[in-house]
Amino acid sequence: MAGDRAEEEEGEAPPPEARAAAAAERVAAAVEAVAAGAAAGVGEYRNAYRRQLLALSRRIRLLGPFVEELRERRGEGEEEERALAPLAAALEAALALLRLGREGSRISLVLERDSVMKKFQGVILQLEQALCDIPYNELDISDEVREQVELVHAQLKRAKERIDMPDDEFYNDLLSVYDKNYDPSAELAILGRLSEKLHLMTITDLTQESLALHEMVASGGGQDPGEHIERMSMLLKKIKDFVQTQNPDMGPPMASRVLDSNGDSRPITIPDEFRCPISLELMKDPVIVSTGQTYERACIEKWIASGHHTCPTTQQKMSTSALTPNYVLRSLISQWCETNGMEPPKRSTQPNKPTPACSSSERANIDALLSKLCSPDTEEQRSAAAELRLLAKRNANNRICIAEAGAIPLLLSLLSSSDLRTQEHAVTALLNLSIHEDNKASIISSGAVPSIVHVLKNGSMEARENAAATLFSLSVIDEYKVTIGGMGAIPALVVLLGEGSQRGKKDAAAALFNLCIYQGNKGRAIRAGLVPLIMGLVTNPTGALMDEAMAILSILSSHPEGKAAIGAAEPVPVLVEMIGSGTPRNRENAAAVMLHLCSGEHHLVHLARAQECGIMVPLRELALNGTDRGKRKAVQLLERMSRFLVQQQEEQESQSQASAQVPPQATPEQVPENDIPEQLDSPASQYPMVV
């Protein structure tokens, strides 16, 4: 019976929460894959669909904040799964289309334009429909993120109503060469247009297209892949010959150039057997694969690394990925080069070792200091940490060399020292080391955050301030925001913001701003009491840290808890004043905070108070002369204020009509004059009563 029960449980479907979480993860993975591709510079899309592909990529990347908020919550049931599963499928289809646009054959993409455009339309329709059904309230999505998602939805809705095909002349030119039905006298003009519009203008472009055609061979490439690929290869060869003819520096068609005895350049044709079948270039390091074919080592290694297990030329399955140097062919290539007065090709070698960051004497000095860090003598530890602090401050080479020598773990061990000066020198040395980007990862991976937080809580004031600055330096990396926020840094930073020196407060504010960019840290900061401190800075007559305070207030206002905490602090008068007379950046942040407040649970209260404070005039001025973001926020606020005023007017008219229809309770003679009520249209009736 136990076995039967186990089988039944194995056959059960996952619970709704698990399915919802899986759908959310699929959405996040697809958006992050597009963002990662764009960040890595693979979003060039050098083909006929560049504009469409860039637009699709950009719209998907705009969903980044939405994904971030999804990941902060647990899946809660079937409704969430039903909403997110279609979006995940649509994003995965979009990711496949972007990959095709990035890696596919440029020639094939145009020849199959009808099919490609159907894919575009299908993906856009899928995305538009999926975003249309997002239950924002159930997913607890903030107003600001919801607005961004709705903007993407509106863009997709417009995009699905139009078809942006590659131009007909381009398509007809390509088809005429592909089908060999053009006028020979027009060939050069056609090839010129094709090379330009296909972005096949350099050796790199032509090589990439050649690799894409080999990829099509590997994947089938249509009903008759042999003929299809052969004709496209012929077309590519024509374009390559044309490009190389027009650009002599690239070499003539299928040839190289050498200097003759007079020093003049002359063309020489490279034998086909000396060319790599993939790159079509002279091989430098020919190797043999298991099928007996020879390729340039770098090209075939890239082919194998891409997941291919077939020979690019024969399409036979390779029994092994082992590569055997073709010494005979390499020797023949060298002899041919020497006979024709060419420099024999040099094989790529391992890159030279980087030049040491510091000299041997400097390294010896650093090693000696590290030995002192391990000394049981507190005085030696303190002096060594102080000297490393100064060395790390001096220049980038020192920062590299100190880290490479293994200083980071030793400095971390001193953060728990009972000697406050040693502790201060150690944390400041880490701060200086963290300026170098590569050292950030080493510091985090060494488990530094808890020790830095310990100093932030218990060190001298200077050590605490430098610990805050270190956390700020580390938190510029997005993934470290999560690590730092989860290890107790935020409450300690809030305390420092309240009691530190001016410099310490500035470092704490900078670190808190960085950390609160991650949505999950906003709640931690709010619960640590950040909002009252920030409101104190905003209303400080000296204006100290005003810019930092307004920036933090803006990002906290997008969080439900932050919105409630800010609203409880009676912020509207100071925000209205800021919109009217602050710096450009502070005006836009004040408008952003007001917009969040006027979109929340108590929006009527805040709208009424804003009207009392005379917000309309500064809002109109901001909408005309603010920053781009400030203008957008001002326009949105003006729309909400206008709707509120219309609603207010309608309520007043309704109340007036109701009062006019009430029959008199007594004749004028029966009611003393001093008992007649004041006018019904009192200032208090202008605003709805909020309980």
The CATH number of whichever domain residue 424 belongs to comes to 1.25.10.10
- Would 266 be classed as within a structural domain? no
**Rounded CA gap, 157 and 17, in Å?**
31
Residues 543, 127: contact at Cβ < 8 Å?
no
- Would 308 be classed as within a structural domain? yes
| pLDDT at site 6 | 37
Q: Which of 548, 509, 686 is nearest to 611 (CA)?
A: 686
| 275 DSSP β-pair partners | 282
- Would 284 be classed as within a structural domain? yes
For residues 195-223, give the mean pLDDT. 67
Residues 261, 340: contact at Cβ < 8 Å?
no
Residues 449, 484: contact at Cβ < 8 Å?
yes
**Rounded CA gap, 304 and 287, in Å?**
13
Residue 625 CB neighbours (<10 A) = 12
DSSP assignment of 172-232: HHHHHHHHT-S-GGGHHHHHHHHHHHTT--SHHHHHHHHHHHHHHHHH--SSSHHHHHHHH
Helices first, then strands: H and E counts in the chain? 35, 5
For residues 461-490, give the mean pLDDT. 91
Joined together, the tokens standing for residue 336 give 């041919």
Amino acid code (one letter) for 682: S
Task: Using DSSP bridges, classify how beta strands 255-259 and 265-269 pair: parallel, antiparallel or unpaired.
Answer: antiparallel
| pLDDT at site 72 | 67
Assign 3-class secondary structure to 304-328.
HHCCCCECCCCCCECCCCCCEECHH
Does position 268 have pLDDT exceeding 90, yes or no?
Answer: no
Q: Kindly indicate the confidence band of residue 681, based on its pLDDT and cuts at 50, 70 and 90.
A: very low
How far is CA 638 from its chain centroid?
Answer: 31
pLDDT > 70: what percent of the chain?
79
Which helix (H) or strand (E) segment holds residue 257: the answer is: strand 255-259
pLDDT > 90: what percent of the chain?
20
| pLDDT at site 30 | 82
- Would 463 be classed as within a structural domain? no
Residue recorded with tokens 């000095």: 365
Q: What's the pTM?
A: 0.48
Residues 94 and 172 in one domain: no
Residues 552 and 584 in one domain: no
- Domain span at residue 292 reads 272-340
| pLDDT at site 357 | 57
Does position 176 have pLDDT exceeding 90, yes or no?
Answer: no
**Rounded CA gap, 466 and 426, in Å?**
10
Residues 619, 634: contact at Cβ < 8 Å?
yes
Residues 154 and 20 in one domain: yes
Residues 33 and 110 in one domain: yes
| Burial of residue 364 (number of CB atoms within 10 Å: 0-12, 13-18, 19+) | exposed
| pLDDT at site 381 | 92
Does position 606 have pLDDT exceeding 60, yes or no?
Answer: yes
Does position 7 have pLDDT exceeding 50, yes or no?
Answer: no
DSSP assignment of 557-619: TTSHHHHHHHHHT--HHHHHHHHHHS-HHHHHHHHHHHHHHTTSTTHHHHHHHHHHTT-HHHH
- Would 462 be classed as within a structural domain? no
Q: Kindly indicate the confidence band of residue 8, based on its pLDDT and cuts at 50, 70 and 90.
A: very low
Query: Rounded to the nearest 5 degrees, what angle is found at the Cα of 433, between the Cα atoms of 429 and 437?
Result: 160
**Rounded CA gap, 24 and 85, in Å?**
8
Q: Which of 542, 565, 588 marks a domain boundary? A: 565
User: Treating both helix axes as pointing N-terminal to C-terminal, what angle do 546-556 and 519-527 enclose, rounded to 10 degrees?
Assistant: 110
Least confident residue range of 354-358, 457-461, 675-679 = 675-679
Does position 405 have pLDDT exceeding 60, yes or no?
Answer: yes
Residues 149 and 183 in one domain: no
**Rounded CA gap, 262 and 258, in Å?**
11
- pLDDT: which is higher, 155 or 197: 155
Least confident residue range of 113-127, 196-210, 511-525 = 196-210
Assign 3-class secondary structure to 532-560.
HHHHHHHCCCCCCCHHHHHHHHHHHCCCH
**Over the chain, what is the mean pLDDT?**
78
For residues 592-609, give the mean pLDDT. 86
Residues 21 and 156 in one domain: yes
pLDDT tens track for 643-675: 888 888 887 777 777 766 655 554 444 434 333
Q: Which of 618, 552, 553 is nearest to 584 (CA)?
A: 618
- Would 460 be classed as within a structural domain? no
Least confident residue range of 39-48, 379-388, 479-488, 573-582 = 39-48
Q: Kindly indicate the confidence band of residue 679, based on its pLDDT and cuts at 50, 70 and 90.
A: very low
pLDDT tens track for 103-156: 778 888 888 888 888 888 899 998 888 888 787 777 778 888 888 888 888 888
Residues 415 and 286 in one domain: no
Amino acid code (one letter) for 466: N
Residues 611 and 548 in one domain: no
Dihedral over alpha carbons 652, 656, 657, 662 (to 10 degrees): 140
Q: What is the DSSP letter of 678?
A: P
- Would 674 be classed as within a structural domain? no
For residues 322-331, give the mean pLDDT. 78
Residue recorded with tokens 């078809």: 163
| pLDDT at site 534 | 92
Residue recorded with tokens 């309704």: 654
Which helix (H) or strand (E) segment holds residue 269: the answer is: strand 265-269
**Rounded CA gap, 278 and 301, in Å?**
11
What's the total number of domains in the chain? 6
Q: How far is CA 644 from CA 111, 292, 341, 610, in A?
A: 56, 79, 85, 11
- Would 487 be classed as within a structural domain? yes
574 φ, ψ (degrees, to nearest 5):
-70, -35
Dihedral over alpha carbons 226, 230, 233, 238 (to 10 degrees): -170
Residues 71 and 145 in one domain: yes
Does position 171 have pLDDT exceeding 80, yes or no?
Answer: no
Residue recorded with tokens 């809580």: 457
| 294 DSSP β-pair partners | 288
Does position 329 have pLDDT exceeding 90, yes or no?
Answer: no
Residues 150 and 45 in one domain: yes
pLDDT tens track for 345-374: 766 544 444 445 567 778 888 989 999 998
Residues 686, 652: contact at Cβ < 8 Å?
yes
Least confident residue range of 266-280, 467-481, 560-574, 620-634 = 266-280
- pLDDT: which is higher, 382 or 237: 382
**Rounded CA gap, 370 and 402, in Å?**
9
Residues 540 and 512 in one domain: yes
| pLDDT at site 261 | 46
Q: Which of 313, 171, 173, 175 is nearest to 231 (CA)?
A: 175
For residues 448-463, give the mean pLDDT. 93
For residues 240-252, give the mean pLDDT. 65
Residues 118 and 22 in one domain: yes
Contacts of 417 (CB under 8 A, 6+ apart): 378, 381, 423, 426
